[in-house]
Structure 1
Amino acid sequence: MAPASAAPGYQPAAPIEATFHAAGPHPVAKRAGADCCSSTGDVYDIWYPSDLGADQTRHPIIAWGDGTLAHPREYDYLLSHLASWGFVVIAPDLTNTGTGVQMLDGVAYLTQLNSDPASEFYGKLDTGAVGAMGHSQGGLGTLNAAARSNGLVKTAVTLEMPSQGLCTSLPPLIPGQNICDIPTGLISGSVLLVSGTADPAPYSGATGGMQGVYDALPASIPKARAAVINASHNDVQGQPGCTNLGCNDGVDSYLGYLTAWFLDQLRGDAQAHSVFVSGTGEFQHNPRWTEQQSNIE
């Protein structure tokens, strides 16, 4: 699989966004449904650099959580892009990811492969640099995974989480478990909250939404939030051309800063870190984003 590439016609609005919006230096490979199993019997899809371990690199891990009724393949463009920048992304093929349990199972599975001399991942993963990211219900799962990981998840990124009001009004997404009640106080790693201004039920706005969960997170952790202008609920699933249902502009506006966030939080990249610094960071002045807030120094 070739590295992800920018959609024709999309022009990033700022220079560091442009750097990380472009495909990274690694060719990308994918294992789809060949790896089994989570604690509930779900197979994994894995995106990874096909030159694993080049120059003695040990690759950080990102656990992905699907939205309700979605599958990992629907996010292929985004997850391939992250792999091109050196991350190994693992996604349980599961349509109810809200507990975060299967996301953590995926990290445990990769950790096992990292210790297996017969695996292509043997000795090539940085199992101390773990992030989590998810869309919609998967955003809830991401925060739940972070809260319950005992510090294993170093950073969490949510995309288009349902508002608290919408979440609690739905029938139980996972029978017998309240995934809407996120134990934010237990989260010790950094958090980035992302929404879209055209999402009909976004985790955005000041009441019971993105602002509320941002404020509920411990003040001691690095955190940021923002909304992509004109992005609807499913833009993050968009390929170039945005042909999927409920997509306005596609995934391109997300690529640069999601990549920068993980490079900062899991690789210590100084240029990527500068993007999110409170008051001065490029992210906070990009005209394609709004509602920016950050406590990062």
Structure 2
Amino acid sequence: MSNKTVLSGRRPRNGARAALTSLALIVAAATGVTPAAAAPYRPAAPLEATYHAPGPWVVAQRTGVDCCTSTGDSYDIWYPADLGAGGVVHPVITWGNGTMAHPREYAYLLSHLASWGFVVIAADRTDTGTGAQMLDAVRYLSDQNGDPNSVFHNKIDTDAAGATGHSQGGLGAINALTRGGGLVDTAVTLEMPMAAACASLPTVDGQSACIDPTAVTSGSVLLVNGTADGISPATQALPPEVIGLQSMQAYYDAMPAGVPKARAAVVGAHHNDVQGQPDCTNFGCTEGVHRYLGYLTAWFMDRLRGDQVARGAFLAGTGELLHNPHWSDQASTITR
């Protein structure tokens, strides 16, 4: 994103990223990938192109200034620099990092969302699967909305919040939706791991990171994975009764029929593509972040800002996402 204003409360971190955990190593073993530069990406359809482009808001960032979650973690926040211009109140998107990852590794994606008018908040925590810190982040911004001394005072739409995250953070997004008592309205998962992997993740304050899709009884859900991601498969050969919920298809099917939901897989993408910023040079990345931008943004524009044009991307049967050649394994229950 260009024209970014940055407010930092701690020194920038330099050097190599932290070592990947066993979860990421499973992915590497399954795919045998090495870092590679991705070719420039061009959206394949009009709605994708619209929301793939940067939004109309210049983006500001607060790094390590805001604190703290219930477990003592600070927040990084991306938000429209001209908060509240024209009387706008801004919906919230709370982000969950993948295992051993930090918000800075997703800065390109999170800044893109903020450019479309969202306040995007990420707890700087490396195990986000329970959703607890993601819910803390929503509550934090709600408190800031009521604080006359805060830059966010009266600028937050406290009735519109979404949750999204990568890998373990995808589990956190679903858990924030089901455990938040209505605090979160919609969840998007990016490369969420199959059930066999979630059992190895640590509990936080006695809560498990594993999800119960049958507990999604309100809100809406978008499940996104990559076709080359061995830990987040789109489909499974054996039925869930035999091997459990080991695919996005199984998670999707287990959610109640009345829940608005959709799923799709980015063709060729591996586990860490959402971390491309913007070039695909991180470990396990082949396609880069660009393929995720358009429809992730469109989903939140529909679900949190009532954008009927954006909803057209997800309509069952006719939705643009369901026919985009850059995606596969699509399904949707979204209606007008």
TM-score range, shorter chain: over 0.9
Q: Secondary structure in 1 aligned to 2:298?
A: helix
2:330 paired residue among 289, 292, 296: 292
Return the alpha-carbon distance in structure 1 between the equivalents of residues 207 and 321 of structure 2: 36
Aligned length: 294
Partner residue of 1:104?
135
Residue of structure 1 equivalent to 2:256: 218
Q: Distance in 2 between matches of 1:152 and 1:177?
A: 18
CA 1:3–1:163 in 2, change beyond 3 Å: closer, same or farther?
farther
In the alignment, the residues of structure 2 paired with residue 33 and residue 182 of structure 1 have an alpha-carbon distance, to the nearest angstrom, of 32
Contact 2:190 2:225 in 1 (8 A): yes
Query: CA–CA distance in 2 between the matches of 1:174 and 1:200?
Result: 26
User: 2:271 maps to which residue?
Assistant: 233
Match of 1:271 in 2: 309
Check whether the contact 2:130–2:210 (CA below 8 A) recurs between aligned residues.
Answer: no
Amino acid at match of 1:217: M
Please name the residue that 1:261 is paired with: 299
State the TM-score, normalized to the length of structure 1. Answer: 0.95
1:143 matches 2:143: no
Matches within 5 A, 1:37-186: 37-168=68-199, 170=200, 172=202, 174=204, 176-182=206-212, 184-186=214-216
Across the aligned residues of Structure 1 and Structure 2, the Cα RMSD in angstroms comes to 1.7
What displacement does 1:9 show? 3.0
| Aligned residue in 2 for 1:191 | 221
Q: Which residue of 2 aligns with 1:200?
A: 230
CA contact (8 A) 1:229 1:289 kept: yes
Partner of residue 20 from structure 1, selected from 51, 62, 70:
51
- Measure how far apart 1:185 and its partner are: 1.9
Give 1:10's aligned amino acid: Y
Supply the distance in 1 between the matched residues of 2:56 and 2:172 (Cα, whole angstroms): 30
2-structure distance, mates of 1:149, 1:131: 11
Cα distance change of structure 1 residues 61 and 171 upon mapping to structure 2, 3 Å threshold: closer
Instruction: Report the Cα offset of residue 71 of structure 1.
Output: 0.3
Query: Is contact 1:49–1:88 with CA below 8 Å preserved after alignment?
Result: yes
Residue 177 of structure 1 deviates from its aligned partner by 3.7
Q: Which residue of 1 aligns with 2:42?
A: 11
Cα drift, residue 174 of structure 1: 4.6
Percent identity reads 63
1:178 shift after superposition: 2.7
| Distance in 2 (alpha carbons) for counterparts of 1:64 and 1:194 | 15
Q: Extract unaligned runs of 5+ from structure 1.
A: none
Q: Provide, for residues 10-42 of structure 1, a one-character-per-residue CA deviation record: whole Å limited to 9, x for no partner.
A: 210001100000000000000011001000000
- Structure 1 equivalent of residue 281 of structure 2: 243
1:182 Cα offset (Å): 2.5
Show CA shifts across 1:159-185 (max 9, x none): 0011112223x2646585432243532
In 2, Cα distance between equivalents of 1:262 and 1:125: 15
Normalising by structure 2, we get a TM-score of 0.84
Aligned to 2:185, what secondary structure does the other structure show?
strand
- Aligned-pair distance for 1:2? 2.6
Residues 146 and 187 in structure 1, CA contact (< 8 A), matched pair in contact too:
no
C-alpha deviation, 1:216, in angstroms: 1.4
Could you tell me how far 1:219 is from its partner in structure 2?
1.3
Shift in Å, 1:3: 5.7
Counterpart-to-counterpart distance in 2, 1:42 and 1:61: 18
The one-character-per-residue Cα deviations of 1:68-90 (angstroms, maximum 9, x if unpaired) are 00000000000000000000001
Mapped partners of 2:158, 2:39: distance in 1: 36
Post-superposition Cα deviations, 1:207-251, rounded to whole Å, max 9, x if no partner, equal 521111111112111100010001100000011221111100100
1:171 and 1:81 map into 2 onto residues whose CA distance is 29
Distance in 1 separating the partners of 2:310 and 2:59 = 22
